[in-house]
Structure 1
Amino acid sequence: MQDNDNNIRKHHDVKRDSPKAWLLAARPKTLSGAAVPVMIGLALTYNDTMSSDLVSFNVTAAVLCFLFAMIMQIDANFINDFFDFAKGTDDSEKRLGPRRACAQGWVSIDRMKHAIAATTCLACVTGLPLVFFGGLEMILIGLLCVIFSFLYTTHLSYMGMGDILVLVFFGIVPVTTVYYLQFHTVTWTVFWASVGCGIAIDALLIVNNFRDRDTDRESGKQTIVVRFGATTALRLYLATGWIAYALCLLFWAEGHPLAFVLPTIYVVLHSFTWLKIKRIYRGKALNICLGETARNIFIYGLTVTIGLLL
């Protein structure tokens, strides 16, 4: 509670539409969730290009994938900030999570609209050259990313579909697309690696919804936690880490044992965070667990990537 009060005081002096306000609105801590699937996809791609005489690793495509993922994550954060405020679900008095820019008045509504338009266009411009590497299907994938970044906040998160979207757009889509850009095909190993990545990242949404379960219930937001209860959500949180870890056995089977051994660090930390969530159970103190979960996800991506490359 004291840490949260310190954060409130620290952000109290944020000037309207200032660089600091926009930095907070961009939510830089969430960028690890965008980086991890790209990291894993590139590691898988690099390994297979090194063992192929026909395909060479394309650095330009790799850089564009990273940039697109980062810009889309910031765009999604802006969209979430704006529409949650517009719908009245970002009540600054009841809110347990980190403060939001529009709700706090750090960013004006008109400026946020312009920012959403700018980041959406920038993401499209950044991703468009990927057509030269992956074909016209890259346009469809890009459009789906943009469309669902809007649909998530405006409709789908209220229907309890957030976890499915995380699996698809933070796992299957980015990992397989990065690989497809190089080889124009996707192996079963890459597909299951993408599923593991999406499941690991979904832990972040679960702890976020676990913290907000009471306010979500009041606002009619039917998340998995609201639908099935706190006990089931805790079991699901623990399961995400262990399932993601178990799927790393595929890398061992493909001749990369370190890509299974190193993520042991991740699953141990994930389990400790789960114990902490159980102990705290409700309130703003769960933001500590949210931060730890983001850290754990990054460690998952880093250890898997290093294991594959070594």
Structure 2
Amino acid sequence: MATVSEWIEGARPRTLPNAIAPVLAGVAATVELDAFTWWQSLLALLVALALIIGVNFANDYSDGIRGTDEHRVGPLRLVGSGVAKPKAVLTAALVSLGAAGVLGLGLVAASGRWWLLAVGAVCIVGAWFYTGGKRPYGYAGFGEIAVFCFFGLAAVLGTVYVQAGRISWYALGCAVAIGCLSTGVLTANNLRDIPTDTESGKRTLAVRLGDAGTRRLYLGLVLVPFVVTVAFGITKPLLLLGLLAAGLLIVPTRAVLGGKTGPGLIPVLRDTGMAMLAWAVLTGIGLIAG
């Protein structure tokens, strides 16, 4: 039976910036629109956290029962390592995704924007079928697109729209920037796993692009937010604060472009996530103060 610390590690807390950063950026864009409501913002954050924990447990379960995680490098896999039974991990995934659904329903009901239920349903279905089902889209190379859409566009713009009833160019720019950084985290993860994914038949985008192509993709993804920052700075100079987050990407970018493999890429996921969180905070300060 898995210990509490193993369950926490299995939830992959290092991925939480992927849920926190988009909501922070969305909240800042909502404040800029003079439509901020604290409890709706809190609900949006809880939905995002429950969703990412749910997808992490769902991935652990689905990859584990397929045998994909047997020789995986990286954080503890509960099913693949044998420390937890598949049924227990499946239950954790369903509870987390169910909590995201209930919290999302409350948020939509409070806002009266009922069509957003369809968006929430797509997010939950997408979380499951990333590695679940007979033909998981994460195994076919579409995981990066899903992360960009769900933890970039949907998370940021959903946070804004549910409160303001509209979006702004700043909100859209934040959504693209956060989506690229979040996708960068997954790209680094899949770069690390190219050997084992290739062996198990998992055709991720990294496997399709190859080692060199995936490293170039990572570089392109982490550059986009700073192009957005410079564009923002034309109208709101304080938004140039976001450029400070670039310092946190020096080490991970060197690791990726320098040819690091396997365990050498594990810190890249953490560092990219922290850079994303820093970009969201700094950009949020610029939006609110400006």
Q: Tell me, yes or no, whether TM beats 0.5.
A: yes
- Report the counterpart of residue 133 of structure 1 in structure 2: 111
| Residue 294 (1) aligns with residue 269 (2) | no
**Which residue of the other structure, out of 24, 28, 31, is the alignment partner of 2:9?**
24
User: Is the CA contact 1:189–1:250 (under 8 Å) kept in the aligned structure 2?
Assistant: no
- 1-side partners of 2:279 and 2:206: how far apart? 24
Per-residue CA deviation, residues 127-148 of structure 1 (Å, 9 max, x unaligned), is 1111221511121111111100
1:251 Cα offset (Å): 2.6
Per-residue CA deviation, residues 247-266 of structure 1 (Å, 9 max, x unaligned), is 123432342x2222x22222
User: Is the CA contact 1:259–1:304 (under 8 Å) kept in the aligned structure 2?
Assistant: yes
- Report the counterpart of residue 193 of structure 2 in structure 1: 212
Aligned amino acid, residue 61 of structure 2: F
Alignment of 1:55-204 (within 5 A): 56-91=35-70, 94-131=71-108, 132-154=110-132, 155-204=136-185
- 1-side partners of 2:137 and 2:3: how far apart? 31
User: Is the CA contact 1:44–1:190 (under 8 Å) kept in the aligned structure 2?
Assistant: yes
- 2-side partners of 1:225 and 1:88: how far apart? 19
- 2-side partners of 1:29 and 1:283: how far apart? 17
- 2-side partners of 1:182 and 1:250: how far apart? 25
1:192 Cα offset (Å): 2.6
Aligned amino acid, residue 82 of structure 1: Y
Report the number of matched residues: 285
- Report the counterpart of residue 264 of structure 2 in structure 1: 285
**Runs of at least 5 residues in structure 2 that lack an aligned partner in the other structure:** none
Alignment of 1:262-273 (within 5 A): 262-273=241-252
* % identical equivalent positions: 31
TM-score, normalising length from structure 2? 0.93
- 2-side partners of 1:46 and 1:187: how far apart? 11
- Report the counterpart of residue 23 of structure 2 in structure 1: 38
- 2-side partners of 1:286 and 1:251: how far apart? 31
Tell me, what secondary structure is at the counterpart of 1:46?
A: helix
- 2-side partners of 1:232 and 1:226: how far apart? 9
Aligned amino acid, residue 238 of structure 2: L
Per-residue CA deviation, residues 128-180 of structure 1 (Å, 9 max, x unaligned), is 11122151112111111110001111211111011111110011111111111
**Runs of at least 5 residues in structure 1 that lack an aligned partner in the other structure:** 1-15, 50-55
- 1-side partners of 2:4 and 2:248: how far apart? 34
Aligned amino acid, residue 121 of structure 2: L
- 2-side partners of 1:134 and 1:191: how far apart? 22
- 1-side partners of 2:208 and 2:244: how far apart? 32
CA RMSD after TM alignment: 1.6
User: Is the CA contact 1:134–1:184 (under 8 Å) kept in the aligned structure 2?
Assistant: no
1:224 Cα offset (Å): 2.1
Tell me, what secondary structure is at the counterpart of 1:97?
A: coil
Looking at CA atoms only, which structure, 1 or 2, has the larger radius of gyration? 1
